[in-house]
Chains A and B, each alone.
Chain A
Amino acid sequence: MEIRVVHYLNQFFAQIGGEEKADIGPGFKDGLVGPGRALQQALGDNGDVIATIYCGDNYFAEHQEQAIDEQCARIAEYKPDLLIAGPAFESGRYGIACGAICQAAQQRLGIAAVAGMDEDNVGASLHRKNIYIVNSGTSIVRMVPTLQRMAALGLKLVRQEAIGKPADEGYLPRGIKRNEFAAKPPAERAVDMLLAKLRGDEFLSEIAPPKFAGGKPAAPLRNLKSAVIALVTDGGLVLEGNPDKIEPGRPTRFTTIPVAGVDSLDADKYDAVHSGYDTAFANRDPNRVVPLDTMRELERDGVIGKLHDFVHSTGGAHAAVENATLIGRQIAERLKAAGVSGVILTST
C-alpha cells in the first residue's frame, strides 16, 4: 500500500527565495516541490509525496514554538504516515528546524519521521537522540543519495521493520547501545587485542569513553563561620519505611529529609536503600552515610554558620546519566534558593 509522505523544506529548497525570504512564515503546497522529485523517485511505488510544507529559516529560529504548532496542525490535516525533513546539509537554522519538526511530529502526532543533515550540524547534536537523522554530509551533491537513504529508513519505520546499525542505514548514532552477536567470543577478542597491542599493531577498543559535560567549579567558600552548609547523599538515605519510594537502583527521583532540631540520625528513624552496596553498616548508624551528628556539633561550635534544615538524598546505583544530571540540577536549584553556599555530598 502506498504510504502518504509529507516533505518539509526551507524557503530556499521550497523555491520561494533565498536568504531574503528567510523571514516568511509557515506555508504549504500540495504535492512535491524541488528536491521532492528526488524523494518521490526514491519512494517509487511505495509512497506518495502528498504535500510539501515549508518555513523561512529565520522565522523558525525566532518563533520556534509557534512555527512548530502551526506545522504540526498542517501535518495533522494531511494525515501522513511519514514526515521527511530536509536534507539541511550544513545549514544550522534549517537543520534545527528539521530536527524540531520531526521530533514534534513523532511525539505529538505519532508519525514516523526522518531528518537529513550533516553530522556536525547543530540540529544534529540537539535532536539525534530522539529522531533518526540521516547523515547528508556538507555537500548538496549528495542530495539524491541522502533522500534515497531517508526514504528507505522512513519506509522501515512506517512498516515497523527492524532498524539496522547506523553505518548500514546511514543515520547518525543516537547514543543508545545495543547488543549484537559477535563472530568471536569476548575472551578470544581480548587475547587478540592484547597480542595486537604487544605487536604494536592497530586495534580498536570496543567501548568508547563516555563524555560528561562537567560544570565549572564554584569559587572557594569565603566565610565558613557564617555559611549555610547542606548535606546531600547518593547513599540512599531515606526516612524509615522509605515513604518517597526511592528506588534501590536506577533512581529517577530524590527525597528531602527534614533535619531541623535533629542532632543525630537514629537507626530506627532512617534507612539506607541502595542496591550497590551492603547497607547493614549504614542502617546500624546512618551517620556513617550522612554525617549529621558531626555537622550539628560543628554548627554548635561555630565552625559553620548553619546546617541546612534538609538533607537531600537519592540512590546512586546505576543511575542513568540523564536522570542523575536532572536530580543534581533540581537539588542544586533548591539549595541555591534556600541560601545554601556549600554542600558536602557523601557518596557510597
Chain B
Amino acid sequence: MRLDLGYVHIGDVRFGAKTSIEDHFLSLDRRELISLLEQESLFERVEIEIAHPGDSCRIIHVLDVLEPRYRLTGPNFPGALDGNGLVGDGETRALKNVAVVETDQLAPRSRSIIDMSGPARDYSPIANTHNVVLLPYPKPGVDKNDYRLAVKKAGLKAAVYLAAAARNIAPDETRVFELPPVAFNQGPKELPRVAYIFPIHSHQHPTQQKEAVFYGSNIHGFMPTVVHPNEILDGALMFSYSAFTWFAQNHPVILELYRRHNRDLWFAGIVLTVAPVTISEKERNAALAARLAKETLGADGIIATKIGGGAVDTDLMMIYTRAEEMGMKATLVIMERYPDTGITFVPENVNALVTPGLTRDPITLPSVARVVGGETLHLDNSNPDNTNPDIPPLPANREITVWIGDLVGAISQVGASRLTTYVS
C-alpha cells in the first residue's frame, strides 16, 4: 500500500476575505470557519486566533494539536469526522508550517502551554508553526466530557478545512510511504527486520463511550493487532490523552523506520496495542503484541514506546521481556517524569532504554504581550511541583516557571523531542 503525502509549504497565515492559498500564503476566512465550527450544538460560540512563530504570545489550555491534512479521495478521519472508510493510501495534501491548536475552555487546571517566542521555542516544533487556535466556548451546563469530544471533532474539521485549500495546488514536496503486504514484505537477509510495537492508549483513564480513538472506535477491550503504518500517518488515530495527535500524523518512530527502510534495516511493520488495567490483561496484551511482531511480522527486533501514566511502565517492561524471551531484541523509548528516579522501575533484564526527556525539569518563560486560550494558569510560580487544588489562579502573561513537560510538543511519549537526560 502506498501513500503520497504532498506538502504545500506555507510561509504565512492571515485572516482574509476568502480561504485560499497563493504563493505559499494562506488566507483564512475567519467567519466561514467559525460558522462551520459553530454548527456544533454544544458550543455557545467559537473564536479563532492566529499566532505566528516569534510572536510574544502564549497559548494556554491546549487540548490537542493537528497538522492540516486533506485526503484527495477522502475519507478524512473516518469514524471520527467523516463516515466509515479507510486511510493510508492514495494522495493526501498537508500544509507544512501550520498547526491547528484546540483549546479546552473547561480545563482551568490545564498546564499545556505553547510559547511562540523565548526559550520555549527551542524545544517544540509547535512553537515554530503558524498556529490557528480554536477557542470553542461551551453552552452553560454541558457535560465536560461531551464538550471535550466536541472540541476534538472541531479540530478535525478545522484541519481538513485548512488543508482543503491546497487540494488543487501542486505540492512543494511529496513524501512517499510504501510497504507491501506482510506476506511479500521480504528484504535482503543482511538487513535486520524491525517492527514497532505501539501502545496507543492506557485505560487507567478509560475512553468515553462515544470517543473516537482508532478509526472511530472507543477501543474498549482493544486487542493487539497488526495495521499498516500509513494508517497512523494518515488520520486513523487520535490520541485520547497523554500525546498530541500531531505526533501520530508525524509519528517519529514510524517516520524513522521508513527513513531507514532498505538502508540499515527492513521495516517489518507495526503492532498496535493498549495498556489495560489489570495485571493479567497487561500480561496477555504484552505477550500477544510480541507474538504478532515475531510470528506475523517476522521481526528480529522491536522498538516499543509508551503512552499514559507511570502504571504503563509495567506494560512496556512486559513487552520487552516477552519479546526477548521469544528471541527478538528489544529497545524501549520511555519518557522520564521524576528527577530522582526517572521512571517507575526497571527490571534487571532491561538494558536498552532511550529517553525522550524528563518532564519535571523547570524552565522559566518570560512575560508575554498576548495570551490566547484563557487568562490564568493554575500554577504555583515558586514551586511547579505543587498540585494543591487550592492554588490561586496566576495571570498567564507573567514570567512563569513551569515544567518542560508542560510545553506542548517538547517531549512526546511516542518518542518526539530534541532532548536526552543526564544525572546532575
| A/B touching: CB–CB < 8 A | yes
A residues adjacent to B (C-beta < 8 A)? 163, 165-166, 173-182, 185-191, 193-195, 197-198, 203, 205-210, 242, 245, 247-250, 275-278, 317-318, 320-322
Instruction: With CB as the reference atom, state the residue of chain B lying closest to A200.
Output: B329
> Which residues in B have their C-beta under 8 angstroms from that of A250?
385-387
What separation, in Å, do the CA atoms of A176 and B342 have in the docked complex?
9
Flag if B419 contacts A242 (CB, 8 Å): no
Flag if A278 contacts B206 (CB, 8 Å): yes
> Which residues in B have their C-beta under 8 angstroms from that of A245?
388-390
> Which residues in B have their C-beta under 8 angstroms from that of A277?
204-205, 277, 309, 311
What separation, in Å, do the CA atoms of A182 and B331 have in the docked complex?
18
> Which residues in A have their C-beta under 8 angstroms from that of B423?
166, 173-177, 208
Flag if B387 contacts A207 (CB, 8 Å): no
Mark each residue of chain B from 379 to 391: 1 if its CB lies under 8 Å from any CB of chain A, else 0: 0000001111110
Instruction: With CB as the reference atom, state the residue of chain B lying closest to A129.
Output: B340
What separation, in Å, do the CA atoms of A15 and B9 have in the docked complex?
73
Chain B interface category by residue count? 35 or more
B15 at the interface (CB under 8 A from A): no
Extra contacts, 19 of them, besides A191-B260, A194-B301 (Cβ < 8 A), are A175-B423, A177-B361, A178-B422, A185-B415, A186-B417, A187-B256, A187-B416, A190-B253, A190-B331, A194-B194, A197-B329, A210-B343, A245-B388, A245-B389, A249-B387, A250-B385, A250-B386, A277-B309, A318-B310
Total A-B Cβ pairs within 8 A: 188
> Which residues in A have their C-beta under 8 angstroms from that of B348?
209
Flag if A197 contacts B310 (CB, 8 Å): no
B265 at the interface (CB under 8 A from A): yes
Flag if A210 contacts B257 (CB, 8 Å): no
What separation, in Å, do the CA atoms of A22 and B388 have in the docked complex?
50
Flag if A191 contacts B357 (CB, 8 Å): no
Most buried by B among A198, A203, A245: A198
Would you list 8 pairs from A and B whose C-beta atoms are within 8 A, ordered by A residue?
Answer: A179-B404, A187-B253, A187-B415, A190-B256, A205-B351, A207-B342, A210-B341, A321-B340
> Which residues in A have their C-beta under 8 angstroms from that of B357?
179, 186
Instruction: With CB as the reference atom, state the residue of chain B lying closest to A171.
Output: B424
B residues adjacent to A (C-beta < 8 A)? 122, 192, 194, 204-206, 252-253, 255-257, 260, 264-265, 277, 300-303, 309-311, 329-334, 336-343, 345-348, 350-358, 361, 385-390, 404, 415-424
- Given A206-B353, A275-B387, answer yes or no on A321-B206 (Cβ-Cβ < 8 Å): no
> Which residues in B have their C-beta under 8 angstroms from that of A179?
357-358, 361, 404, 419-421
- Choose among A166, A191, A318, A322 the residue that contacts B257 (Cβ–Cβ < 8 A): A191
- Given A177-B361, A191-B265, A318-B338, answer yes or no on A207-B256 (Cβ-Cβ < 8 Å): no
- Choose among B347, B352, B386 the residue that contacts A194 (Cβ–Cβ < 8 A): B352
What separation, in Å, do the CA atoms of A263 and B118 have in the docked complex?
57
> Which residues in A have their C-beta under 8 angstroms from that of B331?
190-191, 193-194, 197
What separation, in Å, do the CA atoms of A218 and B333 have in the docked complex?
37
Instruction: With CB as the reference atom, state the residue of chain A lying closest to B418.
Output: A181
Flag if A177 contacts B424 (CB, 8 Å): yes
Flag if A186 contacts B252 (CB, 8 Å): yes
Shortest CB-to-CB span from B262 to chain A, Å, is 14
> Which residues in B have their C-beta under 8 angstroms from that of A185?
252, 256, 415-418
Most buried by B among A205, A247, A317, A320: A205
Shortest CB-to-CB span from B201 to chain A, Å, is 12
Instruction: With CB as the reference atom, state the residue of chain A lying closest to B340.
Output: A321
Flag if A195 contacts B265 (CB, 8 Å): yes
Flag if B301 contacts A198 (CB, 8 Å): yes
> Which residues in B have their C-beta under 8 angstroms from that of A190?
253, 256, 303, 331-333, 354, 415
Flag if A317 contacts B309 (CB, 8 Å): yes
Flag if B342 contacts A177 (CB, 8 Å): yes
What separation, in Å, do the CA atoms of A180 and B421 have in the docked complex?
6
> Which residues in B have their C-beta under 8 angstroms from that of A206?
353-355, 420-421
